[in-house]
Amino acid sequence: MDALKLIAQDSVKESVPQIKIGSTVRVYVKIREGERERTQMFEGTVIARRGSGISETFTVRRVSYGVGVERVFPLHSPNVDRVELVREGRVRRSKLYYLRDRVGKAAKVKEQLR
């Protein structure tokens, strides 16, 4: 097990963004199309975080043209270029799966005032 931990330490990113549940984030993902590489943005609400260490992931949800779209991003993946915090949400749950059943303004997360 120690050998696996040593290998995983090399792949862990040094600057991990502080992603909280309910926050709206903008994730920039590197996409390869043949020889070319471009960066694509995915903006939405963080509804879940799971795992620890190298295998930690977070799920981002947004509604695109009336259809809910969720993507799971590995936190330490080299394909995740950067994660920007757009706004922080105020929630009382660690998983926001109940947002899947809601439509319109009911699917919004209140903003956390500082």
Could you tell me the CATH number of the domain that includes residue 77? 2.30.30.790
String of DSSP letters for 33-69: ETTEEEEEEEEEEEEEEE--GGG-EEEEEEEETTEEE
The token pair at 45 is 């609400």
CA–CA gap between residue 44 and residue 47 (Å, rounded): 9
Domain count within the chain: 1
Q: Is residue 4 part of a domain?
A: no
Q: State the pLDDT at residue 66.
A: 87
Residue-number span of the structural domain to which 22 is assigned: 17-102
Q: Is residue 12 part of a domain?
A: no
Q: Is residue 52 part of a domain?
A: yes
> What pTM does this model have?
0.85
Contacts for 47-51: CB closer than 8 Å, 24+ residues apart: 47/21, 47/95, 47/96, 47/97, 47/99, 48/21, 48/94, 48/95, 48/96, 48/97, 49/19, 49/21, 49/94
Q: Is residue 38 part of a domain?
A: yes
Phi, psi (degrees; rounded to nearest 5) at 104: 70, -135
Residue 97 has a CB neighbour count (10 Å cut-off) of 12
The per-residue pLDDT for range 31-82, each reduced to its tens digit, is 999 999 999 999 999 999 999 888 899 999 999 998 999 999 999 888 998 9
The per-residue pLDDT for range 76-105, each reduced to its tens digit, is 888 998 999 999 999 999 999 999 998 888
Q: Is residue 6 part of a domain?
A: no
Residue 106: pLDDT over 80 = yes
Q: Is residue 61 part of a domain?
A: yes
Q: State the pLDDT at residue 99.
A: 92
